[in-house]
Structures are given as C-alpha cells and as structure tokens.
Structure 1
Amino acid sequence: MRKPVFLFAAPAMAVAALSGGTISAHAAEVQMQASGPVVELGVSETVLADPDMATVGAGVTTRAPTASQAMQENARKMTAVVERIAALGIPDDRIQTTGISLNPRYDYRNDDVPQFLGYDATNNVRIELRDMERVGAVLDALVEAGATNLSGPDFGLIDPKSAQAQARRAAFQRGMTQATELARMAVSYTGVRLLSVEEAVSENRPMQRDMIVVTASRREGASSPVKPGQVGTVVMLTLKYEMTR
C-alpha cells in the first residue's frame, strides 16, 4: 500500500505534504534544487509481532438439477453455518459475505456432447477472529455445521500503527547512516541533506519461519492444530539526499 510522499526542504522553502489514503503518490509536485551529487536509496525494515487477529474463509457449495434447487439447498446449509458462527460468539460485524455464485457444471471427459451435471451454488463468508487459541476449534465447528469450503487462517494485527512506526524509524535511521557513509567516501563531502521521502507499507505479511511450520496428525476429539507464529510489518522508504560539504 503506497503512502503519501513527504518532501523535506530547507527552512526557506515550503514543506509539501500530500494527504489521504492514496494507493500511490509521486514526488513530482515539488522540485528541489541540489547543487551537489544526489544519492537515492531504497531501504526496508521489518518488525515482527505476535498476531492478535486471524481471518478465515468458510462457505458451502451445493449441486442440484436446477438453479432454483441449488440455491435453495445452499441457502439452507449456509444458514446452518451462519447460525453456528453466531453460536460461537463471533459478532456480526466480524462476518462478511465475500461471494455468492451459481454456475452450470458439465462433464467434458467424453468426446461427445458434454454431459450436464447440474448447477453449483456457492456462498462464502469471511470471519475475523480475535482469540488465537480458538482458531482451530472454530474451523472444526464450521465443518461440523456443514461448511464445505475453508480457507486461511490469515494472521495479522488489529492495529499495526505501532509496528509501522517502529519499522519506519529503523528504515529512516538506516537510510541516513548509509547516505552519510557514502558522502564521506566521496572526496570533499562530509554529510547529506534530505531531499525527499517516499513510503510504502506491507502490513501483516506472514513470516515463513521453520519454527511456525507445524505438521501434526489429528487426534480423536482434538481441534485442528493451528500455530500463529509471528507476522511482519514491512516499511519501505525511498530516500533522496544531496551530498553536502
């Protein structure tokens, strides 16, 4: 997700800031003059945190000879799944329908005319869970209620702002250190002046680490094993500096 660009100028110049939750932003709105060499760096930092949110997808697919029958049967079974979700204590505002579809199905295995198999009706919902200890039990309960489609869980942070700020500070400091080192490696330059900053944030990306990869056989009466591990919030900065004497 692209964040606004902030341009930092000398005291005599205005500071330009483009606000809003735009997907992309460009630094072409303000041009700053640099008399010395310019160095541009791409710096990223990742902050790991324990997730406090998980999203799972659940739904039902049914097949029937007619479209009407497929939809009716799907509605009956999906209602049972939704009622089970509510019985688990999950608030309505954490449940969202993500798609309803109805499609004819054919068997194309023969060279002759395809054989009509019926209509497939599908209804899927997205569920946000806040109790990491119950994720496996919730998945099992959804299957028991009749869910035929499961996806996830996808782990994340309810409020990633603190992790973003920590990653941003680390990336900015590392960029300044690298730019200063480059300037001092050049002849006659001792420091740098910041010209512009562009930021991009990747929130709550699961970190693939050996310690969170779990393989376990299902024990009778036990919930499906789920290990949330940690998620990483990544801040990427594009920094431009002018070398100064």
Structure 2
Amino acid sequence: MTSFAARIASAALIPAALPVIMGGALALASAPAMAQSAPDAAFRATTFSLAAFGETNVAPDMATITLGVQTDDMTAAGALKANGAKMNQVMAALRKAGIADRDIQTSNLNVNPQYIYEQNQPPKFNGYQVSNQVTVTVRDLGKLGQAVDATVGAGANTVGGISFGLQNPQVAEDAARMDAVKALQAKADLYARATGYKIVRLVNLGEGGGYSPPQPMPVFAMAKREMADSTQIAAGELKVRIDVTATYEVAR
C-alpha cells in the first residue's frame, strides 16, 4: 500500500507543461499564442485614409413652383366657395399651358378667422381667410413663364417659391463619381511619392453626397401686376457633387 508521502512525491513529478483535458477538449495553445489574433495583422499594415470629391455642372430640365389663391369673406363657407371657384380657374389655366394633372398637387389649404386688433380693445372678428396652394412640376422649362402668366391671369394671387431640378440625375452623378475617383487616386499617388511608399491595394471605398433637389427660392410676391410682358425666368446651372473616401494599403 502506497503511503501518503509517496503519493505526494509522485504528483510532484508530473510535468507542468503537459496538455490538460478539460470537458473533453484538448487545450494546447499557450496564452501568448491565443492573444495574437487575425485582426492584429491589419494593424501592422501601413494605410492611407483619404477623401476627395467630384463635381459637375448641368443645366436643369425641370422646375417646381408653388402658387395659390387667397380669398376673404365674412363666412368660412363664402371664403371657401370663392377660393374654390378661383382655384378651378387656375387649374384649368395650368392644363391649358400644357401641365399634366400628375404634376399638379395641392400642398396647403388653410381656413383662418381674421381679427382686428386695436389698443385697449378686445379683438374684433373680421371674417375668414382661405389660402389654397398647389405645387406644380414643370417638365418643359420652355413652358415655365407661360404657366406662371396663365395662372396669375386666372386668379392666382400668391407665388411661394421656385426651384430647378433634374428629372434623371444619374448621368450627372456618374460624371461626378468619375471625377471624384480620379481625384482620389491622384491624391493617393501624390502621398505615396511624398512618403516613399507604393500603393499595394485599395482596401475600401465609400461614397457620400449626391444630387439633392435644391430648396425653392422664396418669392412670396402677391401676383398683382400687368400681364403685358411675359415672365422671364432664368434657370442657370445646377451643381452635382459626389464625395468619396478610401483606405489604401501601402508598402515600401
């Protein structure tokens, strides 16, 4: 029978570096080896993180205008009736000017009581005001001035704003993308030459920006003027910008 002292001595002879069976799995990796993971290798690479942009100017091919009719009456029903009659005339004028029904959308309709305010006196009711606005998309800019003139002649007495845009911005965006990538590559080559590195590969590429329709330019004019001269509207140019970012791996 083995004595207690003999068992202790035998246990002391077990090598500390032997594999240990835990839960049926054999753990062989040492702690330093486990600490070295695959992502660590990425941090050993030298990279350039760069940004650039490309722009292209293009003439707009559509416009959006906001116009409407404002009427007053001592009763809400009377103000609404008068407004509806004038707005029907405005709609008919737009259609006659070549604007399709799908390009005419009611954007605002308000009925508001009106009061007269005098110092040291309670507000005095002064009837109702009805404001009805439509947003009109003009896809043929040659008809824009004609459309404005026609609606004013038909009874539209408020013009809220105008903006120009692109029906299909894809072509302009792609041109800006090409310019952005060329600028990005040129910048990467420049940094490589300046630092004595060579571009190994493109690690990632990201995009931002792009075409967004401009906000309407405020007009807010009461359209009470003589119609002897046709309205002249200059469309100008739109700027489409694409921003890009990239990471390049480089090496000596």
Q: After TM superposition, is the score higher than 0.5?
A: yes
Deviation string for 1:115-173 (max 9, x for gaps)? 33322211111111122222112111111100012133311211110000000111111
Structure 1 runs, 4 residues or longer, greater than 6 Å off: none
Asked if the contact 1:156–1:231 (Cα under 8 Å) also holds between the matched residues in 2, the reply is: yes
Matched, 1:87 2:96: yes
Percent of pairs with identical residues:
31
3-state DSSP of counterpart to 2:111: strand
Q: Which amino acid in structure 2 is aligned with residue 96 of structure 1?
A: Q
Measure, in 2, the Cα distance between the counterparts of 1:204 and 1:92.
21
Q: How does 1:1-245 map to 2 (within 5 A)?
A: 33=42, 35-108=44-117, 110-187=119-196, 189-191=197-199, 193-205=202-214, 221-245=228-252
Measure, in 1, the Cα distance between the counterparts of 2:49 and 2:118.
58
How far is 1:180 from its partner?
2.6
Asked if the contact 1:193–1:243 (Cα under 8 Å) also holds between the matched residues in 2, the reply is: no
Q: Which amino acid in structure 1 is aligned with residue 242 of structure 2?
A: V
CA-based RMSD: 2.5
Asked if the contact 1:204–1:231 (Cα under 8 Å) also holds between the matched residues in 2, the reply is: no
Asked if the contact 1:34–1:242 (Cα under 8 Å) also holds between the matched residues in 2, the reply is: no
How far is 1:200 from its partner?
2.1
Larger radius of gyration: 2
Greater share of residues in helix: 2
Matched residue count = 202
Measure, in 2, the Cα distance between the counterparts of 1:105 and 1:41.
59
Q: Which moved more, 1:41-50 or 1:53-62?
A: 41-50
User: What is the TM-score with the length of structure 1 in the denominator?
Assistant: 0.73
Measure, in 1, the Cα distance between the counterparts of 2:142 and 2:194.
53
Deviation string for 1:87-135 (max 9, x for gaps)? 2121111111112122223334534323333222111111111222221
3-state DSSP of counterpart to 2:87: helix
Q: What 5-or-longer segments of structure 2 have no aligned partner?
A: 1-40, 216-224
Measure, in 2, the Cα distance between the counterparts of 1:100 and 1:111.
33
Measure, in 2, the Cα distance between the counterparts of 1:70 and 1:142.
19
